[in-house]
Structure 1
Amino acid sequence: MDSWENLGKFILQLNEGKGTLPPAIAADVKRLTENVSDRQQKINTLYEYLQQNTRYISIQMGIGGWQPFDASYVATKRYGDCKALSNYMVSLLKEAGIKAHYVLINSGEARRGLWEDFPAPYFNHAVVCVPTGKDTVWLECTSQTLSPGYMGSSTGNRKALMIGDNGGVVVNSPLYTAQENKQLRKIKAQVDDAGHLVADLNTRFSGIEQETQHYLLHNNTAGMREQYLNQSLSLPNYSVESIRYQETKNIIPEIEEQMVLKASHYATITGKRMFIEPNLVNRVSTRPDASKPRKYDIVYPHSFTHADTVEISVPNGYEPESIPKDITIDNHFGKYSIRFEVTGNRILMFRHYTREAATYPASAYTDLAAFYHAMYQADHSRVVLVKQQEQ
């Protein structure tokens, strides 16, 4: 291929005549949208119709690796691959009077877009984009559970080939920012005289940060979720007592997680002293080895913001002997701060970490390692309390 435009023209030829809907499906589209005035709501309604009435199956026969099944085939069989389901979605929207485009893209966190100066058919996935004036709504048509308009880490933030009326056009899929990819957590916990901890954790995940919870919610049983969580937190001797999720579907989806956990001997009791790490669950666990030379660039594929507030109540009679110093780091790798307080019988911790998607040269690796070491030490800081003798 000598240009992206001509590659798009080739795909147009392959897709020609594949968009006719059966009369019954056309009637469904009319019934679902004729009384809906908001364009975005029409898009959402038809996307949910696709999710409820089709499923993804990868079948490539003949030139099926290039060419989608007819929309009528998908409507009858109620399945298709990414090309077939995307073509079907374009047809549903067209029936409702909404212009949409078939888009070829590379899916997967390690597969990043295309080379604009080297046109070639090296795509592994198809999606849909719907121009809406100032913005564009993107639709991942192989998922039965994603929010309408959300692409996520697998297909977000990369260049793709939109198949327009006159051929291919290179476009950018959605970039999700640190203000959209959030993990906001509040913890209230109690420690008893033996050092055992009980904690209530309320966490709101959004954007790319909610993808693990989305998978747990839609692809696992309650038992499997608890099994995963009982193996994934960086706490010794703990158990998840209960877990509950509430999902809000938006272009930037959100999931609220409410968890109760217990951890035996979380606090260390030595004589009259109690040692507690206030940062229960969101700790940096990586300490890069800067003594080894790095050959390749450092790539941060996604931006995010983490904010944690922890309140731990301890038994009466303890006074602070040592409180960790507050730390603030602001450099090109990220912004990190952590602050500790002891008020009465309550230990408070406030932690904030923001990282932006970026690529850094291998020569920056020593500085990156120092940044991670500083965060690691701060995240594992301990408050030391001393039991006061009774008068």
Structure 2
Amino acid sequence: MTMRYLPDAGRLYGPDFARDPQAVYAALRHRHGAVAPVEIAPGIEAHLVIGYQAAVDVLTNAGGVWSKNGTDWQARLPGTPEAAAMVGMLGYRTNALYSDGVEHARYRKVITDCFSMIQPHKLRQTVIEVCDALIARFAAKGEADLAADFARAIPLRIFNRLLGRPDSDSDALIKALSDMMEADGEVGARGHDAFYRYIGELIQAKTASPGDDLTSWFLHHPAGLSTEEVLHHLVLVIAASYEPTASLISNALSRMVSDDRYYSSLANGALSTYDALLEALRAEPAMANYGPYFVRQPVHFHGTWIQPAELVLVSYAAANTEPTAVPEELRSDGGAYLGFGAGPHRCPASDPAMLIAMTAIERLTSHLCDLELTVPREELLWRPGPFHRSLAHLPVRFTPIRPDQPGESPWAVQPPSSSTPSEPTSPVRSAGYVTSAPWSS
């Protein structure tokens, strides 16, 4: 699919982009301004919105010209493996991410209603149990890869429980999603099939025997989602919880363990976990370039003509870090960021995501208080890809702690054994997230 606007396009793939995306954004900004032509894979082209105000205009649907429905774009894709891989992330589905207007409002209400039923203190306890179990695996070794051993395992283990599956199923979910997102060809196809099989079996089990869990709440919400709509929303919920939350944790941790300000005394103005999370959301948002949009008619937008069926992506990372003439210390926006998006499609689960990330980091640093990187931060490796900003590894060392060591430790409180499956249809009921859905009374 060759477009007419792509001379001097930037590449959002390959090791150079993964190593220093800000250099690519700066060059695009210099050559093109607020909207730049890019390739997100060989032969797959898009407009990338890199200006802050331009990004806000897209996200808030300024002018009413923006749509999330990309079926026309998808229909014009070439039949290449690169195009097939992009459909996995950008292809149309019947869920809140790819809908507009009344349909989007209906879908979004289901998500916000169901997530509002998760009690924060119960979610926090689940995070503590999951994190302590993970920390116990490496605490006695004195070293760990906090990306692989900690951050990337947390969201799926938590959402496996929230969706109503026993802990024994979480490893299979992690393997399926990792294969689907990280690999090409046969491995990726196998991961895709395993992921959708997991969702299909989950829906079957909860249709037969509902519980107090996200899956059952989606199935029985008054909006009356079809089975296909429930499937695509569960896919959205899991995918949107996995990469963004895992990378938010590891990106924030990488700052904390490489910056002495997070370990200095309160009297000296120490920065907090919350500060690290906000800075990660601003400077290194997990979904660096995403938010697919399309126009309903030809539009001249911030100096660039955009036609229907042309893909537009929002670069949250570039927009958040756009240079301004105002010194940081004099800015009145408090370092505003678009890490969770903005407008009608702003992430509806930002509060749970922040609670999970903050609790996970604080739990880790309370047990292992002398974490330090084994390589300088500038030498850390980042996973390649056009959409995410995610560390491949986060190697650290620390003073080991043992199971028989006095005081609180990650072995003190353990979640139910993953070798003993919970009741297959309603494990979250016993965890006490809620007593019943408000629409069932």
The TM-score with structure 1 as length reference comes to 0.23
Structure having the higher Rg: 1
Q: Which has the higher strand share?
A: 1
Q: Which has the higher helix share?
A: 2
Higher relative contact order (CA 8 A, sep 6+): 2
The TM-score with structure 2 as length reference comes to 0.21
